[in-house]
Structure 1
């Protein structure tokens, strides 16, 4: 048992302002002690092998299922999203946990590799080994789905994990760790440390094998700087300014419904959320009518409201600035607007005629707002989408040209005729480019992200032509030269 500091912090419900929990602040020494425990646990966990680890992870999944109502309640209390959305988040996380457990051996286990003619006497094997201990720094907006994209994949790969949840949702992280301990009681394979940014910084400097971070681009840069001190590699899943494109032949009802859900669900607090919509001029007016109709009856509030509060108080000022700046530049609010903000709640806001240089178009808003722009054709739409510094996700609605449009978008993923489907498919990787970060969670890429490639060769017999020796003869050199000509010279 480690000596604990007496420092604590409170978690405040963004919906009611009530204190919903008090948690310890892990100081640097306590973080280092947790990582030291994880190093010892990592050897044992890796030694269990793929089959036994999969069995334990499947049992953990069963624990989460049995307690999902309690977990959803904690999510709702700590960050405010409606219970139905919390349950949906848990369901999506379980799918990815199951995939990681089922596929780790196939993706990461040893496989034979062909050696090539010059090394025909070598037997070659490639496998992916765990780092040992992985540190995960998670976000508050999807406190189960997002961190488990790193935690469960790192565990399936054979790593121990030290998880620092957001200070807004520490209870969620602790609940997950407690349920894991029910099925892995022998060693501290999955630990949770709680605290503010300083606790996360200590984890970055603790010498773990890798850090998986999800959060804002600005915070990601600070995490990278801290990890650079110990050459700790990082996975960066950062912010986004995702766009939805509507072509002239799109199903406008489906596109409008997707835009509203993509922009307003979780109060817009989604890195993959739709913040910009570009619509072909031929269907622009009709689409706007449908969009406003879909959004008009949505309300942010408590109880039966389908949109919850803004979790971080400081985000309110950013949302207000983006709305007011757009209106000052000549934009119009078809819904919501300057008076949409009331305390921690922001009512759905749809802005049109917003200049492309406005903050509401160029910066991540993270609120239930949409900017909708008319474009002359898909070339203009793609140009505007790609002009931004972010490149996380994107959505295209088109009956006939969806793939051609999607292929030209600079983003880590694109979903055609459905919002964010690529993030829910267990075998597909998720991540971004540019200011949206690098590295991938989910799928085979997500498993490999928490390993290093180990190459092994074994010489099966000696070659008559010894190449890697100082005793190599001129005759051997001449034969190699002729062989090179035969193998590669014909490609001139």
Structure 2
């Protein structure tokens, strides 16, 4: 019996979710025919492979892209983009609405792929389907309004007619991460496409089948195939080449790599949007509903095994309810079912690979060695799969424990008690990150007051992350070292465009005319400017 099995038997925690009889396997899903179909969209002359975290076994042999392949992908995308940009915006938007329907109708296909490539529980994989469907519907409906020409008051009203146009940037280079291979790949590309751009995407090789499936579906929905190019390969090789050719760069990943991407884009004077790391905090105020907060904390901390930029890693609970909260939170955490089945039922899946498992293990073991208390979890579960780790709650965490300040990106949360609200807000803000936060209280007014003082791009009241992320009319992104730019809403599509002002001067020029000399013209303009202020013109 392994140490982790002994621990599980002793505590009775984290049971394994049983696979249904006749459950599908990786071989049933990732067939040679499917691989051949999906990899038609990859520009690559080498060979690589990806693997499933559930077993560590190879899923598929894949094309690998060289720097020359990346250049070819951009050439093809640039030629196709010129034609695509001339397509009326409503026709481009209609592609997204058809894609919306196809994703929902064929979701079982992509849920299998997401699970096999990331190791997620199926319900967590379904979050990606929901997010992509919502984004498709939103930009499919709203893009014409976001992109329509806008009239503005000119320099001289009635004499100057001004129109603001939105021109596509050209070819967007997108570097997508492994943790949300549907939502953070095609989900971010949708507004770029409807704005008239082409996209060259580099998904993570280990989760690229999901992104390639989405590309295949977009083409079926009417997107010209050449407008969406995919390259695969090692990040240090392919990533810089993508930044080298792109007219705009969209990146989701670590803060360290984000800095490198930003430097590469800055050297070429092209725009960039970055969603980076987080050390997100959840504040449970003294009037919070303890039962609801405990249930919400499970979702906030352990969805996708904590491998989510906006998941909670620091949990601040008011001293007066801390014991009651922790009792309920620990009980729910210990009852979570871990599993590998391609079906609903498991509450949490696997970490994605050895690197994540190593980081999680190091953070937990170091914290315990330095005096933290293990309330739940804390051990790997190789009896389920090579990268499984139990959902873990740590109490008594203090600096300089790594788990206190470093992003863990795994199913680990630290509990901190507080009595003073001002102090806990300061503690929540005392991090270089600023991506997401959560506040729990029965007093809506108080919740909004606390939210306004938190330095994070999104704040959720009485939930962990889903309401803010799912509200796609509103911007989502990070403050401080959690990133630049926003996805969703108007900012999420306008970033993929260049603003162009067209000013049409009529009747008289912006210069002395009608016999006026310089002095007379200056007096005329002075009088006009004063009058415009009195008329409250903007």
Residue 96 of structure 1: how far off its partner (Å) = 0.8
Give the equivalent residue in structure 2 for 1:411.
Answer: 456
Q: Verify the 8 A CA contact 2:171 2:197 in the aligned structure 1.
A: yes
Work out whether 1:452 is the aligned partner of 2:491: no
Residue 452 of structure 1: how far off its partner (Å) = 1.1
Partner Cα separation in structure 2 for residue 45 and residue 269 of structure 1: 36
Partner Cα separation in structure 1 for residue 353 and residue 266 of structure 2: 28
Q: Verify the 8 A CA contact 1:340 1:348 in the aligned structure 2.
A: no
Secondary structure at 1:169's aligned position in 2? helix
Partner Cα separation in structure 1 for residue 254 and residue 141 of structure 2: 31
Give the equivalent residue in structure 2 for 1:461.
Answer: 507
- Rate the CA distance shift 1:455–1:77 in 2: closer, same or farther, 3 A: same
Q: Point out the more displaced range, 475-484 or 118-127.
A: 475-484
Partner Cα separation in structure 2 for residue 394 and residue 217 of structure 1: 18
Partner Cα separation in structure 2 for residue 347 and residue 252 of structure 1: 23
Give the equivalent residue in structure 2 for 1:32.
Answer: 71
| Number of positions where the alignment pairs a residue of Structure 1 with one of Structure 2 | 487
Q: 2:350 aligns with which of 309, 324, 334?
A: 309
Give the equivalent residue in structure 1 for 2:35.
Answer: none
Work out whether 1:279 is the aligned partner of 2:317: yes
- Rate the CA distance shift 1:324–1:472 in 2: closer, same or farther, 3 A: farther
Q: Verify the 8 A CA contact 1:163 1:173 in the aligned structure 2.
A: no
Query: TM-score scaled by structure 2?
Result: 0.85
Work out whether 1:49 is the aligned partner of 2:88: yes
Partner Cα separation in structure 2 for residue 180 and residue 125 of structure 1: 33
Note the 1:423-462 alignment, pairs <5 A. Answer: 423-462=469-508
Q: 1:239 aligns with which of 273, 277, 281?
A: 277
Residue 485 of structure 1: how far off its partner (Å) = 6.0
Q: Verify the 8 A CA contact 2:99 2:136 in the aligned structure 1.
A: no
Secondary structure at 2:259's aligned position in 1? helix
Q: Point out the more displaced range, 371-380 or 82-91.
A: 82-91
Q: Verify the 8 A CA contact 1:131 1:209 in the aligned structure 2.
A: yes
Secondary structure at 2:189's aligned position in 1? helix
Q: 2:249 aligns with which of 193, 211, 217?
A: 211
Q: Verify the 8 A CA contact 1:10 1:23 in the aligned structure 2.
A: yes
Partner Cα separation in structure 2 for residue 485 and residue 3 of structure 1: 61
Give the equivalent residue in structure 2 for 1:183.
Answer: 221
Give the equivalent residue in structure 1 for 2:52.
Answer: 13
Residue 189 of structure 1: how far off its partner (Å) = 1.3
Partner Cα separation in structure 2 for residue 63 and residue 435 of structure 1: 37
Partner Cα separation in structure 2 for residue 60 and residue 451 of structure 1: 22
Q: 1:392 aligns with which of 435, 438, 458?
A: 435
Note the 1:140-179 alignment, pairs <5 A. Answer: 140-179=178-217
Residue 2 of structure 1: how far off its partner (Å) = 12
Partner Cα separation in structure 1 for residue 129 and residue 515 of structure 2: 62
Deviations along 1:443-471, one digit per CA (max 9) or x if unpaired, are 111011111111111112216x8369998
Note the 1:17-416 alignment, pairs <5 A. Answer: 17-115=56-154, 118=156, 120-184=158-222, 186-197=224-235, 198-206=237-245, 208-303=246-341, 304-337=345-378, 339-340=379-380, 342=382, 343-400=386-443, 401-416=446-461
Residue 148 of structure 1: how far off its partner (Å) = 2.9
Which blocks of at least 5 consecutive residues in structure 1 are unaligned? none
Partner Cα separation in structure 2 for residue 351 and residue 467 of structure 1: 75
- Rate the CA distance shift 1:274–1:470 in 2: closer, same or farther, 3 A: farther
Residue 340 of structure 1: how far off its partner (Å) = 4.2
Partner Cα separation in structure 2 for residue 131 and residue 469 of structure 1: 42
Partner Cα separation in structure 1 for residue 48 and residue 461 of structure 2: 44
Query: TM-score scaled by structure 1?
Result: 0.93
Partner Cα separation in structure 1 for residue 126 and residue 323 of structure 2: 36
Secondary structure at 1:63's aligned position in 2? helix
Secondary structure at 1:446's aligned position in 2? helix
Residue 203 of structure 1: how far off its partner (Å) = 0.9
